[in-house]
Amino acid sequence: MAKSIRPDATDDPFGQPLDAGFDPPGPPVRRYRRRPALIGMGVGLLATCGAGAAYLAQSSGDTVPVLAVTDTVYRGEVLDAARLTTARAAPDPAVRPVAASRLPDVVGQRASTDLPAGTLLTDAALTAAEVPATGQSVVGVAVTEAQLPQSDLVPGDHVRVFGTPSLGDAPPSEPPRSVAATVVSVSAVLDSGHVVVDVVVADEIAGTLVAKAATGRVAIVLDAADAQGGDDR
């Protein structure tokens, strides 16, 4: 009887361990091409960013602290610490902003012109002139909103205060006389419904204006900046 021979498992070529020096093929290696143009652009971008950062650093280092107004200040109004803030600006001989270190000297001075919010203060925008000056008087005129122009009055405005007839009286046969004045300040509406407008006038006509205002029969009109004045001067 023939004897069958069972092949040994080790004789199977597919069952043999792989050679230690042989590695199975991995994923294909992708090779990238160098693009000199892109490399040059990248280097240029880095150089530009560096130069910009250096410029900003130098610019911020060249600025100095100066004073600016936080809200609109009208001509003639007093500057206080609450209306001033510190900003930074590059030194400019053409502007000459007021240094922040001068804050104590600026507080209490008046604006010589209208200063919109954010304006840098300059010496030309400040005045230490007292109000009233010699030969002037400040008179408070209480009126209702109906006796005022619809346009807001601000310090420095030129106005005239007119005497008006009583309610129900016939219009006067001649134009009413007026007193020329300059607005110093305007109050908010009081509980009485009146607004008090402080005006500065020549001291010799202050009594005339006080007498008109006491009757309550007055109206205030707004004039142009170059107005020549009223009738009682």
| Residue 118: CATH number of its domain | 3.90.1210.10
Q: Is the residue at 83 inside a domain?
A: yes
Q: Is the residue at 79 inside a domain?
A: yes
Q: Who has greater pLDDT, 36 or 18?
A: 36
At 109 the pLDDT is 92
| Residue 198: CATH number of its domain | 2.40.30
**Domain shared by 46 and 66, yes or no:** yes
Overall average pLDDT of the 99-112 stretch: 92
**Domain shared by 46 and 121, yes or no:** yes
| Mean residue pLDDT across the chain | 80
At 171 the pLDDT is 79
Overall average pLDDT of the 124-135 stretch: 86
Q: Is the residue at 63 inside a domain?
A: yes
Overall average pLDDT of the 71-75 stretch: 88
| Cα–Cα distance, 120 to 68 (Å, whole number) | 4
**Domain shared by 107 and 49, yes or no:** yes
Domain of residue 108 covers: 36-129
**Domain shared by 118 and 141, yes or no:** no
Q: What is the share, in percent, of the chain residues with pLDDT greater than 70?
A: 71
**Domain shared by 158 and 205, yes or no:** yes
| Cα–Cα distance, 83 to 125 (Å, whole number) | 14
Final residue before a domain boundary, out of 129, 147, 168: 129
Final residue before a domain boundary, out of 77, 100, 129: 129
Final residue before a domain boundary, out of 77, 103, 129: 129
Is the pLDDT at 155 greater than 50? The verdict is: yes
Overall average pLDDT of the 4-24 stretch: 54
**Domain shared by 108 and 156, yes or no:** no
**Domain shared by 125 and 143, yes or no:** no
Q: What does the radius of gyration of the chain's CA atoms come to, in whole angstroms? A: 42
At 180 the pLDDT is 93
Of the ranges 20-24, 174-178, 229-233, which one carries the lowest mean pLDDT score? 20-24
Q: Is the residue at 173 inside a domain?
A: yes
Is the pLDDT at 86 greater than 50? The verdict is: yes
| Cα–Cα distance, 20 to 49 (Å, whole number) | 53
Give the pLDDT confidence of 178-221 residue by residue, as tens digits. Answer: 999 999 889 889 999 999 999 999 999 999 999 999 999 999 99
**Domain shared by 122 and 96, yes or no:** yes
Domain count, the chain: 2
**Domain shared by 109 and 40, yes or no:** yes
Q: Is the residue at 26 inside a domain?
A: no
At 45 the pLDDT is 65
Q: Is 58 buried (19+), middle (13-18) or exposed (0-12) by CB count in 10 A? A: exposed
CB 137 within 8 Å of CB 179: no
Q: Is the residue at 9 inside a domain?
A: no
Give the pLDDT confidence of 1-13 residue by residue, as tens digits. Answer: 555 555 554 555 5
At 233 the pLDDT is 45
Overall average pLDDT of the 65-72 stretch: 93
User: Mind giving me the DSSP string for the chain?
Assistant: -PPP-PPPGGG-GGGSPPPTT-----SPPP-PPP-HHHHHHHHHHHHHHHHHHHHHHHHHHH-EEEEEESS-B-TTPBP-GGGEEEEEE---TTT-BPBGGGHHHHTT-EESS-B-TTPBPBGGGEE---SS-TTEEEEEEEEEGGGS-SSPP-TT-EEEEEE-PPTTPPPPSSPPPEEEEEEEEEPPPPTTSEEEEEEEEEGGGHHHHHHHHHHT-EEEEE--TT----S--
Overall average pLDDT of the 135-146 stretch: 94
Q: Is the residue at 229 inside a domain?
A: no
What band does 26 get if pLDDT is binned at 50, 70 and 90? low
Q: Is the residue at 1 inside a domain?
A: no
